[in-house]
Amino acid sequence: GQQVMQIPQYQHVQEGEDFTTYCNSSTTLSNIQWYKQRPGGHPVFLIQLVKSGEVKKQKRLTFQFGEAKKNSSLHITATQTTDVGTYFCAGNRRNSGGSNYKLTFGKGTLLTVNP
């Protein structure tokens, strides 16, 4: 079945350093979504990328979707303590029957920030 691999599993940074998490799918995706889960909270939607090579920015966060629509990355510039949490990517693709879509989450990257 489809797999979505996400690395690294953990990342600890000093406040002000940059952070990047990478997501790779074994199959071509229709689109990819990113979520953030704060400690003790639930995942919250950040963004969706649809087009090949798409780049979107949200303040200090930059999201990219690969040309082949199989990989994606989230980059945070100058991390802050408020960035702490687990970042998940979720790949969306048609299921084998082609009748509807299925969303598969990566295992997430836990980011901790030392103030």
Partner 1 sequence: KAGVTQTPRYLIKTRGQQVTLSCSPISGHRSVSWYQQTPGQGLQFLFEYFSETQRNKGNFPGRFSGRQFSNSRSEMNVSTLELGDSALYLCASSLASLAGVETQYFGPGTRLLVL
Contact positions vs partner 1 (CB under 8 A): 1, 30-31, 33, 35, 41-45, 48, 88, 90, 92, 95, 100-108
For residue 44, count CB atoms less than 10 angstroms from its CB and return exposed for 0-12, middle for 13-18, buried for 19 or more: exposed
The C-alpha atoms of residue 19 and residue 91 are separated, in whole angstroms, by 21
Q: Min. distance of Cβ 50 from partner 1 in angstroms?
A: 9
Distance (Å, whole) CA 98 – CA 63 = 28
Quote the least distance from Cβ 17 to partner 1, whole Å: 25
Residue 42 C-beta: closest distance to partner 1, Å: 4
What residues does 57 pair with on adjacent strands?
62
| Listed residue (89, 92, 105) closest to 50, CA to CA | 92
For the bound state, the minimum distance from the C-beta of residue 15 to partner 1, rounded and expressed in Å, comes to: 25
Which CB sits closer to partner 1, 57 or 102? 102
Q: Give CA–CA dist 44/97, Å, rounded.
A: 29
Nearer to partner 1, 37 or 62 (CB): 37
- Nearer to partner 1 by Cβ, of 26 and 80: the residue is 26
